[in-house]
Amino acid sequence: MKTHYYLGWFTNLFPESLGRVLQEDITDRKSIVMISSNPSIYEHEGAAEKSWLDHAGIMFDEYHLINYRVQKEDAQILIQNASVIFLLGGDPLNQNSFLMEYELSDFIKASSAVVIGASAGAINMSAKWLCSKKLGFEVETSSIYKGVGLDDFSILSHFDLENNIALVQGELSHLSEEIKIYASNKDCAVRIKGDKTDIFGNVYLISNSNIQRLDETIVGVNG
């Protein structure tokens, strides 16, 4: 059963309830492979995401970071052998380009590893996503980008949604007629496990131009 986590950005580590669910899902802890969103910058990338997992008591025998220091073929082998694949937060455009250049998408889709994406990584895990200036991207022309396509929906992650609901609904209206869109701010998660979808935090569903807040299903003492 394949398990995918689409995360926002966690400023104060994982809350207990989310960390508990991750612990239950991540039973194989031999190797975690982190995929860069800034593959030309090598220092400290993935430190925040690693700290979230460490705090939740999820540690691995091997840690690997895929960037331009890793050869394409070696990167593909690392993904094939991974227990967990983590697409890091940062620059979604750089990461998207890197995924295409290194031809990693098919290897990620074929993997039985738990796949996690934070912010930019979550966006690029989805089937497709809208890159537009109104949504905070530094571009002049709006474009649709193809993601890894682990699940048949789009993600808008780590965006100040609560203060921009009308803008987001209008900007994503056309895409939402074609595909479901999950939109969230910080400290949120969408978990797909088999046919089941779980929600943590304030997550909205945009479908056929309509927007609705989804009920949380991952709850606990601190959830």
DSSP secondary structure of 63-80: EEEESTTS-HHHHHHHHH
Q: Which of 28-37, 38-47, 69-78 has the lowest mean pLDDT?
A: 38-47
Domain that holds residue 27: 3-213
Q: Compute the distance between CA of residue 199 and CA of residue 112 in angstroms, rounded to an integer.
A: 22
Confidence of residue 222 (pLDDT cuts 50, 70, 90): very low
Q: What is the mean pLDDT of residues 17-23?
A: 97
Q: What's the CATH number where 170 sits? A: 3.40.50.880
Residue 223 belongs to some domain of the structure = no
pLDDT beyond 60 at 217: yes
Does residue 221 carry a pLDDT above 70?
A: no
Could you tell me if residue 113 is inside a domain?
Answer: yes
pLDDT, tens only, 185-216: 889 999 999 999 999 999 999 999 999 999 99
Question: Tell me, what amino acid is at 201?
Answer: G
Residue 219 lies in a domain: no
Checking if the pLDDT of 170 tops 50, the result is: yes
The CA dihedral of 144, 109, 178, 192, to the nearest 10 degrees, is: -120
CA 123 vs. chain centroid, Å, equals 6
For residue 117, the model assigns a pLDDT of 98
Full-model pTM: 0.95
| Residue 117 per-residue DSSP state | E
**Is residue 101, in this structure, part of any structural domain at all?**
yes
Does residue 221 lie in a domain region?
no
Name the 3-class secondary structure at 164.
coil
The percentage of the chain sitting over the pLDDT mark of 70, rounded to a whole number, equals 98
218 domain residue, yes or no: no
Note whether residue 169 is domain-resident. yes
Query: Which residues does 51 contact at the CB level (< 8 Å), separation at least 6?
Result: 13
Confidence category of residue 162, pLDDT binned at 50, 70, 90: confident
Task: Write down the pLDDT at residue 185.
Answer: 87
- C-alpha distances (whole Å) from 111 to each of 16, 20, 106, 108, 200 are 27, 23, 9, 5, 25
Q: Is residue 222 assigned to a domain?
A: no
Name the domain count of the chain: 1
